[in-house]
C-alpha cells in the first residue's frame, strides 16, 4: 500500500533554482538518490507492523504500508520476547539442532523476508519496525521527507549534480562544499535518531 497522494510530493516539483542549469530529469534523479542515501543513515522513515505467526512458520514476508525499500528491521518481538539479530549461518545451524521452539534470533535472507530461529512451536504475535528508503524508480517522495529533512536532501542532490564532470553546471569546488554539508546535516539527524530511537512518528499497521 502506497502513501496517499496527500502524503507525497513529486520529485520533479522539488527541482529548485540552484538546479535549473541541468535538465529536470537529471536534477530529479539527483534528489532521489540523495533521499535514498539519507534515509539509509538516520533511519528516518519507518513503519511498524504486527501480525500473527503460525506454529512452524520460520520465514515471514514483510509488507510495509508505504511503498519503499526495506533497508533495516529493528524492535522484533515475538510472543513478548525481543529477538536479537543474527548471522544467517548461526541461525541456520541453530535450526538444525533445534528446528522448533521459542524464537530468539532473526536474520533477513533478503530485504523483504524475516527469518526466525528456531521456528516457533506455537502461534504467537510478531511485531517489528521496518526502516524504509525510496525505491530507485520512485517519482514521488513522502511529504514528510521534504517537510522535515529537505536541508539534507537538497545538499545531497546538489553535491551529486555539481560533481558530474564536463557539464555546463559542473562545479567541483561547490560539490565539495555541499558534500560536507550533506554529511554534517545527515550526521546530526543520525545522532538524534540514535539518542531518541527515531526521528519521526511511526506509521503503524496491524496485519492478521
The predicted-structure confidence for 53-69, as pLDDT tens digits, reads as follows 999 999 999 999 888 99
Predicted confidence (pLDDT) at residue 32 exceeds the cutoff of 90: yes
Q: In this predicted structure, what is the pLDDT of residue 46?
A: 92
pLDDT-derived band of residue 108, with 50, 70 and 90 as boundaries?
A: very high
pLDDT-derived band of residue 199, with 50, 70 and 90 as boundaries?
A: very low
The stretch 3-13 carries a mean pLDDT of 77
Predicted confidence (pLDDT) at residue 175 exceeds the cutoff of 80: yes
Q: In this predicted structure, what is the pLDDT of residue 192?
A: 86
Q: In this predicted structure, what is the pLDDT of residue 16?
A: 83
Cβ proximity of 60 and 126 under 8 Å: yes
- β-sheet bridge partners, residue 116: 106
Predicted confidence (pLDDT) at residue 203 exceeds the cutoff of 50: no
In sequence order, what E strands does the chain have?
A: 8-10, 46-53, 59-61, 69-78, 81-82, 84-85, 100-101, 105-110, 113-117, 119-120, 124-133, 140-142, 203-206
pLDDT tens digits for range 123-174: 999 999 999 999 999 999 999 999 999 999 999 999 999 999 999 999 999 9
Predicted confidence (pLDDT) at residue 205 exceeds the cutoff of 50: no
State how far the Cα of 155 lies from the Cα of 134, in Å rounded to an integer.
Answer: 17
Q: In this predicted structure, what is the pLDDT of residue 201?
A: 40
**CA nearest 151: which of 190, 179, 193, 181?**
181
- How many of the other CB atoms lie within 10 Å of CB of 203? 19
Q: In this predicted structure, what is the pLDDT of residue 195?
A: 59
- β-sheet bridge partners, residue 113: 61, 110
The count of C-alpha atoms lying within 13 angstroms of the C-alpha of 17, restricted to the half-sphere facing its C-beta, is 0
Amino acid at each position: 500500500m502506497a502513501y496517499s497522494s496527500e502524503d507525497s510530493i513529486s520529485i520533479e516539483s522539488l527541482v529548485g533554482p540552484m538546479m535549473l542549469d541541468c535538465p529536470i530529469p537529471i536534477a530529479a534523479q539527483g534528489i532521489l538518490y540523495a533521499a535514498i542515501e539519507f534515509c539509509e543513515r538516520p533511519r528516518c522513515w519507518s513503519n511498524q507492523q504486527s501480525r500473527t505467526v503460525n506454529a512452524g512458520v520460520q520465514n515471514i514476508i514483510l509488507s510495509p504500508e508505504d511503498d519503499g525499500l526495506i533497508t533495516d528491521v529493528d524492535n522484533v518481538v515475538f510472543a513478548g520476547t525481543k529477538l536479537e539479530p543474527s548471522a544467517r549461518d548461526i541461525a541456520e545451524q541453530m535450526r538444525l539442532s533445534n528446528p522448533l521452539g521459542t524464537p530468539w534470533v532473526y536474520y533477513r535472507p533478503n530485504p523483504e523476508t524475516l527469518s526466525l530461529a528456531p521456528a516457533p512451536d506455537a502461534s504467537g504475535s510478531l511485531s517489528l519496525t521496518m526502516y524504509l528508503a525510496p525505491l530507485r524508480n520512485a517519482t514521488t517522495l513522502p511529504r514528510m521527507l521534504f517537510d522535515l529533512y529537505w536541508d539534507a536532501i537538497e545538499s545531497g542532490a546538489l553535491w551529486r549534480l555539481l560533481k558530474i564532470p564536463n557539464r555546463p553546471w559542473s562545479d567541483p569546488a561547490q560539490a565539495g562544499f555541499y558534500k560536507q554539508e550533506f554529511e554534517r546535516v545527515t550526521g546530526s539527524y543520525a545522532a538524534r535518531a540514535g539518542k531518541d530511537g527515531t526521528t519521526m512518528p511511526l506509521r503503524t499497521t496491524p496485519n492478521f
